[in-house]
Protein backbone atom coordinates (compact mmCIF):
# COMPACT_ATOMS: atom_id res chain seq x y z
CA UNK A 1 0.00 0.00 0.00
CA UNK A 2 1.08 3.57 -0.69
CA UNK A 3 1.61 6.14 2.03
CA UNK A 4 0.12 9.62 2.32
CA UNK A 5 3.57 11.18 2.08
CA UNK A 6 4.53 12.30 -1.41
CA UNK A 7 8.19 12.30 -0.43
CA UNK A 8 8.10 8.66 0.65
CA UNK A 9 6.19 7.59 -2.45
CA UNK A 10 8.66 9.32 -4.76
CA UNK A 11 11.56 7.81 -2.83
CA UNK A 12 10.11 4.34 -3.43
CA UNK A 13 9.75 4.93 -7.18
CA UNK A 14 13.26 6.38 -7.42
CA UNK A 15 14.61 3.34 -5.61
CA UNK A 16 12.79 0.94 -7.93
CA UNK A 17 13.95 2.65 -11.13
CA UNK A 18 17.39 3.40 -9.64
CA UNK A 19 18.11 6.52 -11.66
CA UNK A 20 16.86 5.13 -14.99
CA UNK A 21 17.09 7.80 -17.69
CA UNK A 22 13.55 7.23 -18.96
CA UNK A 23 11.86 7.68 -15.55
CA UNK A 24 10.61 11.28 -15.42
CA UNK A 25 9.23 13.06 -12.33
CA UNK A 26 7.76 16.53 -12.79
CA UNK A 27 7.02 18.25 -9.46
CA UNK A 28 4.45 21.07 -9.20
CA UNK A 29 1.87 22.50 -6.81
CA UNK A 30 -1.91 22.41 -6.78
CA UNK A 31 -3.07 25.52 -4.87
CA UNK A 32 -0.27 25.20 -2.35
CA UNK A 33 -0.19 21.37 -2.12
CA UNK A 34 2.83 19.51 -3.47
CA UNK A 35 2.14 17.13 -6.33
CA UNK A 36 4.11 15.21 -8.93
CA UNK A 37 3.62 13.80 -12.40
CA UNK A 38 5.32 10.43 -13.08
CA UNK A 39 5.90 9.13 -16.61
CA UNK A 40 8.25 6.93 -18.62
CA UNK A 41 9.94 8.68 -21.53
CA UNK A 42 9.06 7.21 -24.92
CA UNK A 43 5.83 5.55 -23.79
CA UNK A 44 3.65 8.66 -23.44
CA UNK A 45 2.41 11.47 -25.65
CA UNK A 46 3.77 14.71 -24.19
CA UNK A 47 1.30 16.87 -26.07
CA UNK A 48 -1.66 15.00 -24.60
CA UNK A 49 -0.14 15.31 -21.12
CA UNK A 50 0.29 19.07 -21.46
CA UNK A 51 -3.08 19.80 -23.02
CA UNK A 52 -5.19 17.16 -21.30
CA UNK A 53 -3.66 16.97 -17.80
CA UNK A 54 -1.24 19.70 -16.78
CA UNK A 55 -3.00 22.75 -18.23
CA UNK A 56 -6.44 21.86 -16.80
CA UNK A 57 -4.96 21.17 -13.35
CA UNK A 58 -2.74 24.26 -13.18
CA UNK A 59 -5.51 26.57 -14.41
CA UNK A 60 -8.27 25.10 -12.31
CA UNK A 61 -9.76 27.07 -9.39
CA UNK A 62 -9.71 24.63 -6.48
CA UNK A 63 -11.03 26.02 -3.18
CA UNK A 64 -10.65 22.76 -1.26
CA UNK A 65 -7.70 22.60 1.14
CA UNK A 66 -7.88 18.94 2.12
CA UNK A 67 -5.60 16.87 -0.21
CA UNK A 68 -8.21 14.12 -0.52
CA UNK A 69 -10.86 16.69 -1.48
CA UNK A 70 -8.47 18.15 -4.06
CA UNK A 71 -7.88 14.68 -5.44
CA UNK A 72 -11.61 14.06 -5.81
CA UNK A 73 -12.24 17.50 -7.32
CA UNK A 74 -9.56 17.01 -9.96
CA UNK A 75 -10.85 13.52 -10.70
CA UNK A 76 -14.49 14.58 -11.06
CA UNK A 77 -14.39 18.16 -12.37
CA UNK A 78 -11.03 19.02 -13.91
CA UNK A 79 -9.79 16.21 -16.14
CA UNK A 80 -11.76 14.81 -19.05
CA UNK A 81 -9.55 11.98 -20.24
CA UNK A 82 -11.49 8.92 -21.29
CA UNK A 83 -9.32 6.22 -19.76
CA UNK A 84 -8.41 7.06 -16.18
CA UNK A 85 -8.15 4.95 -13.06
CA UNK A 86 -7.09 5.09 -9.43
CA UNK A 87 -4.25 3.01 -8.00
CA UNK A 88 -3.45 2.53 -4.32
CA UNK A 89 -0.59 0.01 -4.47
CA UNK A 90 2.96 0.36 -5.74
CA UNK A 91 2.70 -2.74 -7.96
CA UNK A 92 -0.42 -1.42 -9.70
CA UNK A 93 1.18 2.01 -10.16
CA UNK A 94 4.36 0.55 -11.70
CA UNK A 95 2.28 -1.66 -13.99
CA UNK A 96 0.38 1.39 -15.21
CA UNK A 97 3.64 3.24 -15.87
CA UNK A 98 4.95 0.31 -17.91
CA UNK A 99 1.81 0.39 -20.05
CA UNK A 100 2.20 4.05 -21.01
CA UNK A 101 0.08 5.67 -18.31
CA UNK A 102 0.89 8.93 -16.53
CA UNK A 103 0.53 9.06 -12.73
CA UNK A 104 -0.38 12.07 -10.62
CA UNK A 105 0.49 11.90 -6.91
CA UNK A 106 -0.70 14.47 -4.35
CA UNK A 107 0.90 14.95 -0.95
CA UNK A 108 -1.47 13.75 1.77
CA UNK A 109 -3.38 11.31 -0.45
CA UNK A 110 -2.73 7.56 -0.42
CA UNK A 111 -4.02 7.11 -3.97
CA UNK A 112 -2.72 8.11 -7.38
CA UNK A 113 -4.54 8.95 -10.58
CA UNK A 114 -3.49 7.07 -13.73
CA UNK A 115 -4.22 8.45 -17.19
CA UNK A 116 -3.91 6.62 -20.49
CA UNK A 117 -1.64 8.85 -22.60
CA UNK A 118 0.21 6.25 -24.67
CA UNK A 119 2.31 7.74 -27.42
CA UNK A 120 5.02 5.23 -28.27
CA UNK A 121 6.12 4.63 -31.84
CA UNK A 122 5.27 1.39 -33.62
CA UNK A 123 5.42 -0.16 -37.06
CA UNK A 124 2.56 0.82 -39.32
CA UNK A 125 -0.06 -1.66 -40.47
CA UNK A 126 1.17 -3.45 -43.58
CA UNK A 127 0.55 -6.62 -45.56
CA UNK A 128 1.56 -9.82 -43.73
CA UNK A 129 4.77 -11.31 -45.09
CA UNK A 130 4.09 -14.96 -44.23
CA UNK A 131 0.41 -15.25 -45.23
CA UNK A 132 0.11 -13.72 -48.67
CA UNK A 133 -3.30 -13.79 -50.38
CA UNK A 134 -4.61 -12.75 -53.77
CA UNK A 135 -8.06 -11.51 -52.82
CA UNK A 136 -7.94 -11.10 -49.07
CA UNK A 137 -7.25 -8.07 -46.92
CA UNK A 138 -3.83 -6.41 -47.08
CA UNK A 139 -3.79 -5.68 -43.36
CA UNK A 140 -1.66 -7.62 -40.94
CA UNK A 141 -1.21 -7.52 -37.20
CA UNK A 142 1.40 -5.23 -35.66
CA UNK A 143 3.29 -5.33 -32.36
CA UNK A 144 1.03 -3.28 -29.97
CA UNK A 145 -1.76 -5.54 -28.76
CA UNK A 146 -4.24 -2.63 -28.47
CA UNK A 147 -3.97 -2.01 -32.21
CA UNK A 148 -4.48 -5.72 -32.88
CA UNK A 149 -7.56 -5.74 -30.65
CA UNK A 150 -9.02 -2.84 -32.62
CA UNK A 151 -8.38 -4.62 -35.94
CA UNK A 152 -10.42 -7.60 -34.74
CA UNK A 153 -13.18 -5.40 -33.29
CA UNK A 154 -13.42 -3.47 -36.55
CA UNK A 155 -14.30 -6.68 -38.39
CA UNK A 156 -16.72 -8.16 -35.86
CA UNK A 157 -19.37 -5.60 -34.89
CA UNK A 158 -20.95 -7.57 -32.09
CA UNK A 159 -21.00 -7.02 -28.32
CA UNK A 160 -20.53 -10.78 -27.92
CA UNK A 161 -16.87 -10.36 -28.84
CA UNK A 162 -14.98 -10.24 -25.57
CA UNK A 163 -11.39 -9.38 -24.66
CA UNK A 164 -9.74 -10.36 -21.37
CA UNK A 165 -6.25 -9.13 -20.47
CA UNK A 166 -3.74 -11.06 -18.34
CA UNK A 167 -0.21 -10.14 -17.28
CA UNK A 168 2.53 -12.79 -17.52
CA UNK A 169 6.27 -12.76 -17.02
CA UNK A 170 7.85 -11.99 -13.68
CA UNK A 171 10.20 -9.41 -15.21
CA UNK A 172 8.65 -8.40 -18.54
CA UNK A 173 5.04 -8.06 -17.24
CA UNK A 174 3.75 -8.75 -20.75
CA UNK A 175 0.09 -8.18 -21.53
CA UNK A 176 -1.72 -11.15 -23.05
CA UNK A 177 -5.25 -10.70 -24.36
CA UNK A 178 -7.68 -13.62 -24.72
CA UNK A 179 -10.30 -13.01 -27.40
CA UNK A 180 -13.47 -15.06 -28.03
CA UNK A 181 -17.20 -14.93 -28.77
CA UNK A 182 -19.24 -15.44 -25.62
CA UNK A 183 -22.05 -17.53 -27.15
CA UNK A 184 -19.79 -19.54 -29.45
CA UNK A 185 -16.73 -20.56 -27.46
CA UNK A 186 -16.66 -23.82 -25.51
CA UNK A 187 -16.61 -23.02 -21.75
CA UNK A 188 -14.29 -26.00 -21.13
CA UNK A 189 -11.78 -24.83 -23.73
CA UNK A 190 -11.93 -21.24 -22.48
CA UNK A 191 -11.42 -22.15 -18.83
CA UNK A 192 -8.50 -24.43 -19.70
CA UNK A 193 -6.82 -21.72 -21.79
CA UNK A 194 -7.20 -19.14 -19.01
CA UNK A 195 -5.83 -21.54 -16.42
CA UNK A 196 -2.74 -22.35 -18.46
CA UNK A 197 -2.05 -18.67 -19.11
CA UNK A 198 -2.33 -17.90 -15.40
CA UNK A 199 -0.01 -20.82 -14.59
CA UNK A 200 2.78 -19.65 -16.92
CA UNK A 201 6.07 -19.64 -15.01
CA UNK A 202 8.22 -17.39 -17.19
CA UNK A 203 10.50 -14.48 -16.41
CA UNK A 204 10.07 -12.81 -19.78
CA UNK A 205 7.63 -13.17 -22.68
CA UNK A 206 8.99 -11.55 -25.83
CA UNK A 207 7.35 -13.57 -28.61
CA UNK A 208 4.55 -16.01 -29.33
CA UNK A 209 7.01 -18.90 -29.18
CA UNK A 210 7.46 -18.31 -25.45
CA UNK A 211 3.78 -19.02 -24.80
CA UNK A 212 2.62 -21.55 -27.41
CA UNK A 213 4.43 -24.59 -25.93
CA UNK A 214 3.09 -23.68 -22.47
CA UNK A 215 -0.60 -23.62 -23.37
CA UNK A 216 -0.51 -27.19 -24.65
CA UNK A 217 0.65 -30.29 -22.84
CA UNK A 218 4.27 -29.70 -21.83
CA UNK A 219 5.58 -33.26 -22.04
CA UNK A 220 4.41 -34.42 -25.46
CA UNK A 221 6.16 -36.43 -28.19
CA UNK A 222 3.98 -34.68 -30.74
CA UNK A 223 5.73 -33.41 -33.86
CA UNK A 224 2.81 -31.23 -34.96
CA UNK A 225 1.45 -28.24 -33.05
CA UNK A 226 -1.99 -27.94 -31.51
CA UNK A 227 -1.63 -24.14 -31.52
CA UNK A 228 -2.27 -22.15 -34.66
CA UNK A 229 -0.45 -18.96 -35.63
CA UNK A 230 -1.74 -16.16 -37.85
CA UNK A 231 -0.77 -12.64 -38.88
CA UNK A 232 -4.12 -11.92 -40.54
CA UNK A 233 -7.07 -10.32 -38.69
CA UNK A 234 -9.60 -11.81 -41.12
CA UNK A 235 -8.27 -15.33 -40.51
CA UNK A 236 -8.42 -14.85 -36.74
CA UNK A 237 -11.98 -13.52 -36.96
CA UNK A 238 -13.02 -16.58 -38.96
CA UNK A 239 -11.52 -18.90 -36.33
CA UNK A 240 -13.17 -16.99 -33.49
CA UNK A 241 -16.49 -17.33 -35.28
CA UNK A 242 -16.01 -21.12 -35.21
CA UNK A 243 -15.64 -21.15 -31.42
CA UNK A 244 -11.88 -20.93 -31.10
CA UNK A 245 -9.90 -18.75 -28.71
CA UNK A 246 -7.41 -16.16 -29.98
CA UNK A 247 -4.45 -15.15 -27.81
CA UNK A 248 -2.93 -11.74 -28.57
CA UNK A 249 0.53 -11.14 -27.10
CA UNK A 250 1.84 -7.61 -26.70
CA UNK A 251 5.00 -7.07 -28.71
CA UNK A 252 4.45 -9.69 -31.42
CA UNK A 253 2.45 -9.53 -34.69
CA UNK A 254 1.47 -13.20 -34.46
CA UNK A 255 -1.82 -14.22 -32.82
CA UNK A 256 -2.17 -17.72 -31.36
CA UNK A 257 -5.33 -19.73 -32.08
CA UNK A 258 -6.46 -22.69 -30.00
CA UNK A 259 -7.50 -25.36 -30.56
CA UNK A 260 -5.73 -25.90 -33.88
CA UNK A 261 -6.47 -29.08 -35.86
CA UNK A 262 -4.33 -30.88 -38.43
CA UNK A 263 -6.68 -30.22 -41.35
CA UNK A 264 -6.42 -26.45 -40.83
CA UNK A 265 -2.85 -26.49 -42.12
CA UNK A 266 -4.32 -27.09 -45.61
CA UNK A 267 -6.82 -24.24 -45.44
CA UNK A 268 -6.10 -20.63 -46.36
CA UNK A 269 -8.14 -17.47 -46.69
CA UNK A 270 -7.97 -17.61 -50.48
CA UNK A 271 -9.91 -20.89 -50.38
CA UNK A 272 -12.99 -18.89 -49.41
CA UNK A 273 -12.39 -16.03 -51.82
CA UNK A 274 -12.31 -18.15 -55.02
CA UNK A 275 -15.04 -20.20 -56.65
CA UNK A 276 -15.63 -23.64 -55.05
CA UNK A 277 -14.27 -25.70 -57.96
CA UNK A 278 -10.91 -23.90 -57.98
CA UNK A 279 -10.73 -23.83 -54.17
CA UNK A 280 -11.29 -27.60 -54.13
CA UNK A 281 -8.51 -28.05 -56.68
CA UNK A 282 -6.04 -26.03 -54.59
CA UNK A 283 -7.09 -27.94 -51.47
CA UNK A 284 -6.18 -31.26 -53.13
CA UNK A 285 -3.01 -29.66 -54.47
CA UNK A 286 -1.94 -28.91 -50.90
CA UNK A 287 -2.62 -32.49 -49.79
CA UNK A 288 -0.56 -33.80 -52.70
CA UNK A 289 2.28 -31.33 -52.02
CA UNK A 290 2.39 -32.38 -48.35
CA UNK A 291 2.78 -36.09 -49.14
CA UNK A 292 5.22 -35.28 -51.94
CA UNK A 293 7.40 -33.22 -49.59
CA UNK A 294 7.42 -35.93 -46.93
CA UNK A 295 7.64 -39.18 -48.90
CA UNK A 296 9.28 -38.48 -52.27
CA UNK A 297 12.94 -38.40 -51.10
CA UNK A 298 12.46 -41.53 -48.98
CA UNK A 299 10.66 -43.29 -51.82
CA UNK A 300 13.40 -42.33 -54.29
CA UNK A 301 16.20 -43.55 -52.00
CA UNK A 302 14.33 -46.76 -51.18
CA UNK A 303 13.46 -47.52 -54.81
CA UNK A 304 16.98 -46.95 -56.14
CA UNK A 305 18.59 -48.91 -53.28
CA UNK A 306 16.26 -51.88 -52.68
CA UNK A 307 13.44 -51.89 -55.24
CA UNK A 308 14.73 -50.82 -58.69
CA UNK A 309 12.15 -53.06 -60.36
CA UNK A 310 9.40 -50.59 -59.37
CA UNK A 311 10.83 -47.86 -61.62
CA UNK A 312 10.52 -47.77 -65.42
CA UNK A 313 13.53 -49.34 -67.12
CA UNK A 314 14.52 -46.17 -69.01
CA UNK A 315 14.31 -44.07 -65.84
CA UNK A 316 16.32 -46.60 -63.84
CA UNK A 317 19.04 -46.64 -66.52
CA UNK A 318 19.28 -42.83 -66.40
CA UNK A 319 19.55 -42.90 -62.60
CA UNK A 320 22.16 -45.68 -62.73
CA UNK A 321 24.27 -43.73 -65.23
CA UNK A 322 24.14 -40.60 -63.06
CA UNK A 323 24.94 -42.47 -59.84
CA UNK A 324 27.84 -44.39 -61.46
CA UNK A 325 29.85 -41.17 -61.64
CA UNK A 326 29.25 -40.10 -58.01
CA UNK A 327 31.37 -41.28 -55.04
CA UNK A 328 28.55 -41.47 -52.48
CA UNK A 329 25.52 -43.75 -52.07
CA UNK A 330 22.07 -42.35 -52.90
CA UNK A 331 20.99 -42.04 -49.26
CA UNK A 332 24.07 -40.02 -48.30
CA UNK A 333 23.64 -37.83 -51.38
CA UNK A 334 20.03 -37.05 -50.47
CA UNK A 335 20.92 -36.22 -46.87
CA UNK A 336 23.86 -34.00 -47.85
CA UNK A 337 21.92 -32.08 -50.51
CA UNK A 338 18.95 -31.62 -48.21
CA UNK A 339 21.24 -30.45 -45.41
CA UNK A 340 23.02 -27.98 -47.70
CA UNK A 341 19.68 -26.65 -48.89
CA UNK A 342 18.59 -25.98 -45.30
CA UNK A 343 21.89 -24.17 -44.66
CA UNK A 344 21.30 -21.94 -47.69
CA UNK A 345 17.71 -21.30 -46.60
CA UNK A 346 18.76 -20.24 -43.11
CA UNK A 347 21.48 -18.03 -44.57
CA UNK A 348 18.98 -16.38 -46.89
CA UNK A 349 16.68 -15.66 -43.95
CA UNK A 350 19.34 -14.24 -41.61
CA UNK A 351 21.67 -12.24 -43.84
CA UNK A 352 21.01 -8.54 -44.50
CA UNK A 353 18.65 -7.89 -47.40
CA UNK A 354 21.34 -6.56 -49.81
CA UNK A 355 23.24 -9.86 -49.44
CA UNK A 356 20.27 -12.19 -49.94
CA UNK A 357 20.63 -12.18 -53.75
CA UNK A 358 24.31 -13.08 -53.43
CA UNK A 359 23.47 -15.99 -51.15
CA UNK A 360 20.86 -17.23 -53.65
CA UNK A 361 23.33 -17.09 -56.52
CA UNK A 362 26.04 -18.87 -54.54
CA UNK A 363 23.54 -21.52 -53.42
CA UNK A 364 22.37 -22.16 -56.97
CA UNK A 365 25.95 -22.50 -58.20
CA UNK A 366 27.23 -24.63 -55.30
CA UNK A 367 24.27 -26.97 -54.86
CA UNK A 368 23.19 -26.95 -58.46
CA UNK A 369 25.37 -26.82 -61.52
CA UNK A 370 28.80 -27.12 -59.89
CA UNK A 371 27.89 -30.09 -57.70
CA UNK A 372 26.43 -32.04 -60.63
CA UNK A 373 29.14 -31.14 -63.16
CA UNK A 374 31.90 -32.08 -60.71
CA UNK A 375 30.33 -35.50 -60.13
CA UNK A 376 29.75 -35.06 -56.39
CA UNK A 377 25.99 -35.61 -56.63
CA UNK A 378 23.66 -37.04 -59.23
CA UNK A 379 21.26 -34.88 -61.21
CA UNK A 380 18.18 -37.07 -60.40
CA UNK A 381 18.86 -36.81 -56.66
CA UNK A 382 19.25 -33.05 -56.90
CA UNK A 383 15.99 -32.76 -58.86
CA UNK A 384 14.10 -34.83 -56.27
CA UNK A 385 15.34 -32.72 -53.34
CA UNK A 386 14.59 -29.48 -55.21
CA UNK A 387 11.06 -30.67 -56.01
CA UNK A 388 10.33 -31.67 -52.43
CA UNK A 389 11.79 -28.41 -51.08
CA UNK A 390 9.47 -26.45 -53.35
CA UNK A 391 6.46 -28.60 -52.40
CA UNK A 392 7.08 -28.00 -48.69
CA UNK A 393 6.33 -24.28 -49.15
CA UNK A 394 2.79 -25.04 -50.31
CA UNK A 395 1.86 -25.69 -46.67
CA UNK A 396 4.13 -23.19 -44.88
CA UNK A 397 2.71 -23.88 -41.40
CA UNK A 398 3.96 -27.46 -41.68
CA UNK A 399 7.45 -26.63 -42.91
CA UNK A 400 9.19 -27.50 -39.64
CA UNK A 401 7.56 -30.93 -39.12
CA UNK A 402 7.87 -31.76 -42.83
CA UNK A 403 11.61 -31.00 -42.80
CA UNK A 404 12.26 -33.30 -39.83
CA UNK A 405 10.07 -36.10 -41.22
CA UNK A 406 11.79 -35.84 -44.59
CA UNK A 407 15.17 -36.57 -42.98
CA UNK A 408 13.66 -39.51 -41.09
CA UNK A 409 12.06 -41.01 -44.20
CA UNK A 410 15.31 -40.68 -46.17
CA UNK A 411 17.27 -42.58 -43.50
CA UNK A 412 14.56 -45.23 -43.02
CA UNK A 413 14.04 -45.65 -46.78
CA UNK A 414 17.77 -46.07 -47.34
CA UNK A 415 18.15 -48.71 -44.58
CA UNK A 416 14.84 -50.62 -44.40
CA UNK A 417 13.27 -50.03 -47.80
CA UNK A 418 9.54 -49.80 -48.41
CA UNK A 419 8.75 -51.77 -45.25
CA UNK A 420 10.47 -49.09 -43.19
CA UNK A 421 8.59 -46.33 -45.03
CA UNK A 422 5.27 -48.07 -44.37
CA UNK A 423 6.17 -48.43 -40.69
CA UNK A 424 7.09 -44.73 -40.41
CA UNK A 425 3.84 -43.79 -42.13
CA UNK A 426 1.86 -45.82 -39.62
CA UNK A 427 3.73 -44.23 -36.71
CA UNK A 428 2.98 -40.75 -38.08
CA UNK A 429 -0.73 -41.53 -38.57
CA UNK A 430 -1.04 -43.05 -35.09
CA UNK A 431 0.70 -40.03 -33.62
CA UNK A 432 -1.76 -37.68 -35.35
CA UNK A 433 -4.87 -39.70 -34.49
CA UNK A 434 -3.88 -40.34 -30.85
CA UNK A 435 -3.49 -36.69 -29.89
CA UNK A 436 -6.20 -34.55 -28.32
CA UNK A 437 -6.21 -30.75 -28.43
CA UNK A 438 -8.36 -29.38 -25.60
CA UNK A 439 -10.51 -32.54 -25.60
CA UNK A 440 -10.89 -32.46 -29.41
CA UNK A 441 -9.17 -35.06 -31.63
CA UNK A 442 -6.32 -33.43 -33.54
CA UNK A 443 -7.28 -35.45 -36.62
CA UNK A 444 -10.95 -34.36 -36.55
CA UNK A 445 -13.10 -34.40 -38.59
CA UNK A 446 -11.26 -37.07 -40.60
CA UNK A 447 -10.82 -39.32 -37.58
CA UNK A 448 -13.32 -39.81 -36.07
CA UNK A 449 -15.04 -39.31 -39.41
CA UNK A 450 -17.86 -36.80 -39.76
CA UNK A 451 -19.51 -36.66 -43.17
CA UNK A 452 -21.08 -33.24 -42.59
CA UNK A 453 -17.65 -31.68 -42.08
CA UNK A 454 -16.27 -32.96 -45.37
CA UNK A 455 -17.85 -29.97 -47.12
CA UNK A 456 -14.85 -27.92 -45.97
CA UNK A 457 -12.14 -30.60 -45.76
CA UNK A 458 -11.74 -32.68 -48.89
CA UNK A 459 -13.81 -30.19 -50.89
CA UNK A 460 -14.77 -26.56 -50.42
CA UNK A 461 -18.51 -26.29 -50.79
CA UNK A 462 -20.30 -23.14 -51.88
CA UNK A 463 -21.10 -20.39 -49.39
CA UNK A 464 -24.78 -21.24 -49.70
CA UNK A 465 -24.01 -24.61 -48.10
CA UNK A 466 -21.28 -23.46 -45.71
CA UNK A 467 -23.37 -20.63 -44.25
CA UNK A 468 -26.28 -22.87 -43.26
CA UNK A 469 -24.61 -24.43 -40.24
CA UNK A 470 -21.19 -23.16 -39.22
CA UNK A 471 -19.00 -25.99 -37.95
CA UNK A 472 -18.27 -25.13 -34.32
CA UNK A 473 -15.11 -26.56 -32.85
CA UNK A 474 -16.90 -27.87 -29.76
CA UNK A 475 -19.19 -29.92 -32.04
CA UNK A 476 -16.32 -31.86 -33.54
CA UNK A 477 -16.63 -35.62 -33.09
CA UNK A 478 -14.95 -36.81 -29.93
CA UNK A 479 -15.20 -33.48 -28.12
CA UNK A 480 -17.77 -34.95 -25.78
CA UNK A 481 -15.13 -37.18 -24.13
CA UNK A 482 -15.23 -36.48 -20.42
CA UNK A 483 -11.81 -37.85 -19.53
CA UNK A 484 -9.57 -37.49 -22.57
CA UNK A 485 -6.61 -39.12 -20.82
CA UNK A 486 -8.43 -42.46 -21.01
CA UNK A 487 -8.94 -42.19 -24.77
CA UNK A 488 -5.73 -40.53 -25.94
CA UNK A 489 -3.12 -37.98 -25.13
CA UNK A 490 -4.27 -34.51 -24.17
CA UNK A 491 -2.43 -31.62 -25.76
Given strand 435-437, what is the order of strands in its sheet? 440-441, 435-437, 489-490
Q: Is the pLDDT of residue 482 over 50?
A: no
pLDDT in tens, 437-457: 888 889 888 888 887 778 888
Q: Rounded to an integer, what distance in angstroms lies between the CA atom of residue 201 and that of residue 190?
A: 20
Weakest-pLDDT range from 115-124, 164-173, 215-224: 215-224
Share of the chain above pLDDT 70, in %: 91
Question: Do residues 59 and 101 touch, judged by C-beta distance below 8 A?
Answer: no
Q: According to the model, what pLDDT value does residue 150 have?
A: 92
Average pLDDT, the chain: 86
Q: What is the average pLDDT across 91-100?
A: 90
- pLDDT confidence of residue 469: 63
Handedness of CA 40, 45, 51, 52 (dihedral sign): negative
Query: What whole-number distance in Å separates Cα of residue 321 and Cα of residue 324?
Result: 5
Q: β-pairing, 23-30 with 84-87?
A: unpaired
**For residue 471, pLDDT beyond 80:** no
User: With pLDDT > 90 as the criterion, what percentage of the chain qualifies?
Assistant: 39
Please tell me whether residue 47 adopts helix, strand or coil conformation. helix
**What confidence score (pLDDT) does residue 10 get?**
93
* Whole-number pLDDT of residue 74: 85
* E strand or H helix at 165: strand 161-168
Rounded average pLDDT over 11-18: 92
For 162-198, how does the pLDDT look when each residue is reduced to its tens digit (9 = 90+)? 999 999 988 888 999 999 999 889 899 999 999 999 9
Using CB atoms within 10 A of its CB, is residue 477 exposed (0-12), middle (13-18) or buried (19+)? Answer: middle
Backbone angles phi, psi at 419, to 5 degrees: -65, -40
Q: For 113-140, give one letter per residue: b (16+ CB within 10 A) or e.
A: bbbbbbeeeeeeeeebeebebeebeebb
Question: Which pLDDT value is given to residue 391?
Answer: 93
How do residues 402-443 score in pLDDT, each as one tens digit? Answer: 999 999 999 999 999 999 999 999 999 988 888 888 888 898
Question: What angle do the packed helices 379-392 and 276-305 form, to 10 degrees?
Answer: 150
pLDDT at 486: 36
Amino acid sequence: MMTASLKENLAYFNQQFDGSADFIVRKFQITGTDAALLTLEGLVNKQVIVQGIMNPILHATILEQDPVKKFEYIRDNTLATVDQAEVDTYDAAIQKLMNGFALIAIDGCIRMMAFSVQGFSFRGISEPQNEMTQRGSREGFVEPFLINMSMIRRRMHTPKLKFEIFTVGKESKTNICVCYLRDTVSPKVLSRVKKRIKDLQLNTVLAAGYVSPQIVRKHSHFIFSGVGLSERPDTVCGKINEGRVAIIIDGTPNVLIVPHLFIENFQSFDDYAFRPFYATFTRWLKFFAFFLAVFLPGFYVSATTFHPELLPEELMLKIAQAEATTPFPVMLEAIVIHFLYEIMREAGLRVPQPLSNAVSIVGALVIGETAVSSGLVGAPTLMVIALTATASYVTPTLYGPVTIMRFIFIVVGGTLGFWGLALCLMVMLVNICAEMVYQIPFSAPLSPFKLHSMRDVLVRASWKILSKNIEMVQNMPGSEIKNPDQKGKQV
